[in-house]
Structure 1
Amino acid sequence: MPDDMPTPASSAGMTQPSMAEIRQQAAEWLIQLSEAESDTQRAALQAACQAWQQQHPGHAEIFRQMQTLWQSLADHGDTAKPKRSKGRRKALIGTALSALLLLGGLQLPTTRYWLADERTSTGEIRQISLSDGSRITLNTHSAVDIRFDAHTRTIRLTEGEVLAEVAHDPQQRPFIVENRDGTATALGTRYLVRQDADSSTVTVLESTVAVKPRHSATISKVYAGEQLRFDAQQAYTLMPAPALADSWHMQRLVFEDAPLSAVIARLAEYRPGLLKLRTNTQAFRFTGVLPTDDSDKALSILQQALPIRIQRFSNYIVLVDAGNEPAANR
């Protein structure tokens, strides 16, 4: 058995490893199995790997997931074929392992997402008509619960982003978008609420919205053309709203002198799997319009505008490298 083989942890007297550590161990098993130089060595590795999987149900489940991803990489990149030189294979395997761990570490949908009244999958944008004549549009991978009663009209955003277009209510019930960080109450007709990892953002397109952080008594009024970021504790400085902030509901993303890192991060929200920059691209900026419903076309547009290289390991793993000098936008 090779000396650098992953060492299964004892189930007694040791702390259960984190998910990241288990993914790392599973990836190392896959590397060792792909690098086995004889049938005897491979059989020993398989037996040891099986013992590791049997330590905990989570080990076996994560190994199966990683194995599926690894096979996708191997099929696309020929990482497991012996005809390549040892140095070339190691380089390919190193790149594949990086992608494997990044993809394996993507955040999975929460229980709240699956139990929500309405939700969209990655890349899906959907408009929903409400019983009072209002409409909401869910952005990619978003989820809401809808709670209308005699006193309020509440949209509870559990993940993602929602565009609210509020109809007049004869009963004068307030229209509220509520989420983890607080509430955004419509005093007009049209606004966006987006929930990110550590804060939320309200962007007002028409009229006025009152924003209240969950653990604060302060209410901030946000007017048309303004944007406010807030978390559960406080609201931050009002900013001008980005031009065409709601363009995503028309399946377009509009960028004006945006860093390439921000462009790729936004585009990745609409593509299943992993789309990520591999290198520092601070010098690259993009102005233009990209489609949300065809990320391959969007990447092609970026590649025409900027000196970037696109490396596809599979349909679900795409890495972007920067070239030497930024090109002028076309």
Structure 2
Amino acid sequence: MKRDNQSVVTEFILIGFSSFPDLQAPLFVVCSFMYLAILAGNIIIIATIRRDSTLHTPMYFFLAMLSSSETCYTFSIIPNMLVNLLREKGTISFIGCAVQMYVFLAFANINCMLLTVMGYDRYVSICKPLHYSVLMNQRFCTKLVAFSVTTGFVFSTLEAYFIFTLPFCGPNKIHHFFCDLAPLLELACGRNYLGEIVIFLICILMVSCSFLLILLSYIVILNTILKIPTTDGKRKAFSTCASHLIVVVVHFGCASIIYLRPQSRYTLNEDTFISVTYTLMTPLLNPVVYSLRNKDVQIALKKSLGRRMCSQKM
């Protein structure tokens, strides 16, 4: 594609919340507290699972990996967003934008994969309990996580490549608070239809296929739970899935709204506030739900706090 007499963009201006100047200071305070809560919650979950031997099971291994992924996911977006909330004009370099998108997409993909893996873990636990320890052994669980991480980064590489090989030579104002797919495609001087098809297929694969696999797992799980003769047994079986289900619904619901709709329906204000949901609310939901609803984690936390209080008294 010809690029003669065209200036090459070296930095982008992140419009973000500058359309709402009166909200920037309150948003900075609220988002700062939420980010600190996300970091604290995920660190507590990871540390608790690591220290308590009763939580050394596949389910909590995957939860620790999800918490680690969520921490990296938010770190790629929120610190820069907080800095820009204190500025009149937020900027990010071309290279910085590419790195942010690459890291953000990688961990977003990894989160989808890990939630799918956790769905499979719940399926094996409830539908094949006698074979659980054999099927979900440590080696296989490690392979599932490694596959999730590798797939996430491979797909992110493809997405970032097709975006940043496009020519950016005109306007450099991104109508968002971070470098996301749709706003950047809006700024490109040319179109790469093959690249856009690949990006859309990856989004379909990550969001739709992951969600359908989880849905299939839960259809079989529900069928198995309904066959349990006692009410108490049904309640216990379902309670092991409830936290995962809540996180899945919110995560895939927001992702579907953003990435699985026609580009023509892209609107600034709507997408900005929906994006706040999946960059702040969803990562915060993970530690909150798994801490408040999970009795094993609560017991482990109480043990850990009890040991610390005892050691301080001594």
Task: Give the TM-score normalised by structure 2.
Answer: 0.24
**Greater strand content:** 1
TM-score by length of 1: 0.23
| CA radius of gyration, larger in | 1
